[in-house]
Amino acid sequence: MKTHKVEQLVIATMGFFWCFLMWFSTAAFSPSIAAHYHLSIKALGLLASSAIWMAPVGRVVAGWASDRFGAPRTFAVILTVCGLVSIASAFTQDYSLLFAERVIVAIAGVSFVVGIQHVAQWFNADEIGTAEGLYAGTGNVGAGMGALVLPRLFGTDYHTAFLWLGLIALVVAAWYLLRGRAARNAEQIALTRRRSDFRSTAFVWSRYIAVALMLAYAMSFGLEIAMNAWLPGYFTHGFHGAILALGFSSVAGLQIAAGTFAAVESFCASLFRPFSGFMSDLFQRNGWTPLPFIARTLPYAPRLHWLGIALILITLAMGGLTFAGMTGSLHASVLTLVALGVFISFGTGGTFALVPLLFPDRPGTAAGFIGGISTAAGIIYPLVFSASTNIHMGYLTVALYMFVPFILFYFWAARHERRPEEHGIFTEALAVEKA
Amino acid sequence: MHMPAQSSAKGPFEPWYKYGVAFLSFEMAVAIAVSAYSLFMTFHGLGGFPGKH
């Protein structure tokens, strides 16, 4: 079968887009579900949070599976299972069963790392940033589309929505199986498969540079999902008077204003992500290495510098959020938040422009570790934000006590001028070449 | 196996790349337009992000 890498990119992006649409479809209909089953606020919160329960462990397994069995088969299994359960949930009348089914459908969110592995197997080193950015950024839009389009198309009829989402998932799964190819050649498929054993997985998990990239992704994507949950409440409480002054007097009005500020940050973080991949390619192409300490002679050194810049910008923007909040300026706070959204995209795009180059033989395993474990940060940051005595101080606390150490560790792990992936714990015992 | 070292020479990109850059530019323009519209509406007390009216 003749194919082209752009076709593989389109298939992966469509698969990811549809998985993200399914992932967040429960949230899009949560008011309708709550009204139908008379759910309490606590039960509604549980339903909303269940979307990310499966992500940390699920992404690790999915990443390994994509190396072992190939991305097309892994993606098709995810789409098929989630599609069938989504169809089943369309006919469910018992809430406990519906809740369990929607938790299973939320497994669709683990597909991110499978597509990262798929794209990594097809694109050249000089274009990998843009390719991965287009895949991840465009696919991410599926989450926003769920909130914007599904309620308009289906109203409160979530049963029909879940049915159609599931049916189309089965069609996308069949397309992925028919046209998807795991890699450019059989040798690459065989090599990746050989490197998907336990020893190789332990090797990736114990590399300092992999841990540094995982922390970088926790600073970017982990922060993005944390802010999605935190910001509406932050603006409602932290800028109550300023929002009332804008003319939003009812509770629903406050939610609209606060939700808008949160949505804009998330929207920018998704849609600027391909640009970040392009910037990583640009740094690489021009050989820009402006930061101290970080390696300058590695084949992908400029990409390490671009990610380092992104992490510094995220940290500065977090401090800026605290400063803007303390001044009481809603406008300054929102503008800083927009900047933070763009900087977060620099971090997410910059991280996955590097992963396939650092671990070319284990892209799925590495993507699973880096893209999976980091999502736990989405649970941790809001806890720190809410623990602060002043609601505005949480950002500075996270920046100083978490992000600054993360950046220092990143600089330390990325300082090696030769094979940074060789540095870690148990290196001799885990060396695959000698096994 | 390690990725072969990249040449720092600026060779031409493959044909698909310019379409990729055009598409990501379009995505950025959408992000800027929707954000500006949403914030304008909100700061004037008229509404919010699409879908949150």
Which ipTM score applies to this complex?
0.86
Structure tokens at A101: 């089914």
Contacts A248 to B, Cβ<8 Å: 45
**What pTM did the predictor assign?**
0.90
The pLDDT of residue A433 is: 54
Beta bridge partners of A424: A207
| A150-166 mean pLDDT | 91
Please tell me the distance from the alpha carbon of residue A346 to that of residue A344, in angstroms, as a whole number: 5
Identify the CA nearest to A200 among candidates A98, A300, A67, A292.
A67
Beta bridge partners of A207: A424
Inspect the interface and report whether the beta carbons of A267 and B28 lie closer than 8 Å. no
The pLDDT of residue B51 is: 60
Instruction: Report the residue from A151, A275, A360 with minimal CB separation from B28.
Output: A275
Phi-psi region of A287 (alpha: psi -120 to 50; beta: other; left: phi over 0): left
Inspect the interface and report whether the beta carbons of A130 and B52 lie closer than 8 Å. no
Instruction: Report the residue from A125, A268, A419 with minimal CB separation from B31.
Output: A268
| A108-114 mean pLDDT | 94
Contacts A259 to B, Cβ<8 Å: 48-49, 52
Q: Which residue in chain A is spatially nearest to B42 when comparing CA positions?
A: A257
How many beta carbons lie within 10 A of that of residue A372, not counting itself? 24
Identify the CA nearest to A81 among candidates A43, A114, A56.
A114
Share above pLDDT 70 across residues of chain A, in percent, rounded to a whole number: 98
Residue in the structure block whose two tokens are 């949403």: B38
The pLDDT of residue A352 is: 96
Cα–Cα distances in Å, from A173 out to A20, A351, A360?
14, 28, 26
Pairs of residues, one from chain A and one from chain B, whose beta carbons lie less than 8 Å apart: 112
The pLDDT of residue A248 is: 86
Residue B3, chain A, CB below 8 Å: the answer is yes
Q: Which residue in chain B is spatially nearest to A149 when comparing CA positions?
A: B51
Contact call for residues A22 and A111 (beta carbons, < 8 A): no
The pLDDT of residue B52 is: 54
Residue A213 has pLDDT above 60, yes or no: yes
Residue B40, chain A, CB below 8 Å: the answer is no
Lowest mean pLDDT among A98-102, A143-147, A379-383: A143-147
Which tens digit of pLDDT belongs to each residue from A248-286?
A: 887 878 888 888 888 888 889 999 999 999 999 999 999
Q: Which residue in chain B is spatially nearest to A255 when comparing CA positions?
A: B52
Identify the CA nearest to A257 among candidates B6, B2, B45.
B45
How many whole angstroms from its chain centre is CA A302?
23
How many beta carbons lie within 10 A of that of residue A38, not counting itself? 8
Residues 8-27 on B with a CB inside 8 Å of A are: 8, 10-11, 13-14, 16-17, 20-21, 23-25, 27
Q: What angle do CA A218, A64, A17 make, to 5 degrees?
A: 65
pLDDT band of A435, cuts 50, 70, 90: very low
Please tell me the distance from the alpha carbon of residue B47 to that of residue A276, in angstroms, as a whole number: 30
3-state secondary structure at position B1: coil
Residue A434 has pLDDT above 50, yes or no: no
Please tell me the distance from the alpha carbon of residue A221 to that of residue A381, in angstroms, as a whole number: 12
Which tens digit of pLDDT belongs to each residue from A32-74?
A: 888 899 988 788 778 877 777 888 889 999 999 999 999 999 9
Q: Which helix (H) or strand (E) holds A229?
A: helix A208-238
Q: Is A236 exposed, middle or buried (0-12, 13-18, 19+ CB in 10 A)?
A: middle
Query: Where is pLDDT greater, at A311 or A237?
Result: A311
Q: Which residues of chain B have pLDDT under 50?
A: 1-8
Contact call for residues A419 and B2 (beta carbons, < 8 A): yes
Contact call for residues A62 and A367 (beta carbons, < 8 A): no
